[in-house]
Amino acid sequence: LDKLDKQISTPLLALKLPLPIFEYLLSIPGNFFGSCSFTVVTCPALIAICLDGKIHWNHWYALVGMLVVCNLAIWLHVLSPDNKKSSSSRFAKKLFYGPLVSAMSPLIGIALLKYAPPTSSISNNARQMGYFQMCAWSIGVIPASILKPFVARQRPATWINHEENATTNDNKIKMLQKAAREKHISVLPKLFSKDAAVSMASGDAAGAMACMYPLIFVHESSNQAKILAWICVCLSCVGRVYWFAHHVGDVLAGVITSFFACWILQHILCDETTCLIQWWDPLVAHGLLLVTAIVTRLMTKQRVFHSGTMRVEDKHIKDK
């Protein structure tokens, strides 16, 4: 299965988009949905505003402002060529990726939905859907957070650069090594190469499925909204493979496990017509995620928190 998955993933891994702007655009859905600092704060506002049916230009202005802040953080810490040395990168790392902000992000999302314009004026039903989205993200990524340390599958960016592949004559390996170097934003494969054995399942793909689940399956959204939601999920999955972060099987596992987790959550919190969710439910769901992540990583003796992505020591490379 591992060999077959790598064969299926090879065309997308070897792909190079013709212009840098396409890679910059793909880097947003490809790196956005795995961070609770972004998704738990921004996506509930998007869900709530879209479902209220009273969209005004000032609503979009507020939403674009949040997206600009999130994407600026991605640029400062991930896409900046000197991201390891830059003081702005270190600041973005602490502000947007640190454990304190990750733990407190549900409180920020709840405050935005209850008190901040424009979401403070939305209907109670739309606000509850925003709460449901926050719960869905936290619950949806739990299966991936459990699978990662126990499966311990290496990322594509890691195994193509193993010592036995460094001087290989295998044309496919050499092609993938060249593709990783020649990406317009080559810093991303380099970043993921340090993550070692955390490929299965994709937390970003799971987060994308969880974020879009309310629009696709819970609320009676328009067909256009559902199509856009599926496009968002697909772009996230494509981006994760394109940047050598995951294989195709990894992103499929993330989407499928997240779907079933959100489906169970929906049947717990919602009936046939409405979702009865209180403002503290996202706190409970997020607390369950944090406990699960801490316990699984302590059991496998992995570092619990790290900025950006989870860095895990690769036992194979250490043994070498």
87-100 tens-digit pLDDT: 666 666 666 666 77
Whole-angstrom distance, CA of residue 294 vs CA of residue 212: 26
Report the range out of 73-77, 166-170, 178-182, 218-222 with the highest average pLDDT. 178-182
Whole-angstrom distance, CA of residue 96 vs CA of residue 31: 13
Query: Would you give the DSSP letter of residue 269?
Result: H
Computed on alpha carbons and rounded to an integer, the radius of gyration of the chain in Å comes to: 19
Whole-angstrom distance, CA of residue 78 vs CA of residue 70: 12
Phi, psi of 25 (to 5 degrees): -65, -40
Neighbouring C-beta atoms of residue 300, cutoff 10 Å? 13
Mean pLDDT of the chain: 77
Whole-angstrom distance, CA of residue 255 vs CA of residue 17: 24
| Mean of pLDDT values over 188-207 | 82
Q: Is 57 helix (H, G, I), strand (E, B) or coil?
A: helix
Whole-angstrom distance, CA of residue 195 vs CA of residue 185: 18
Higher pLDDT, 159 or 312: 159
The encoded tokens of residue 84 equal: 């390891």
pLDDT of residue 66: 62
Residue 240 in contact with residue 250, Cβ under 8 Å? yes
Instruction: Give the pLDDT band of residue 112 (cuts 50, 70, 90).
Output: confident
Whole-angstrom distance, CA of residue 144 vs CA of residue 57: 37
User: 118 to each of 26, 48, 134, 167, 221, how far by Cα in Å?
Assistant: 28, 10, 18, 57, 20
Residue 247 in contact with residue 199, Cβ under 8 Å? yes
Write the pLDDT tens digit of every residue in 18-54: 888 888 778 778 877 887 776 776 677 666 666 655 5
Half-sphere exposure of residue 122: CA atoms within 13 angstroms, side-chain side: 30
User: Residue 2's beta-bridge partner residues?
Assistant: none
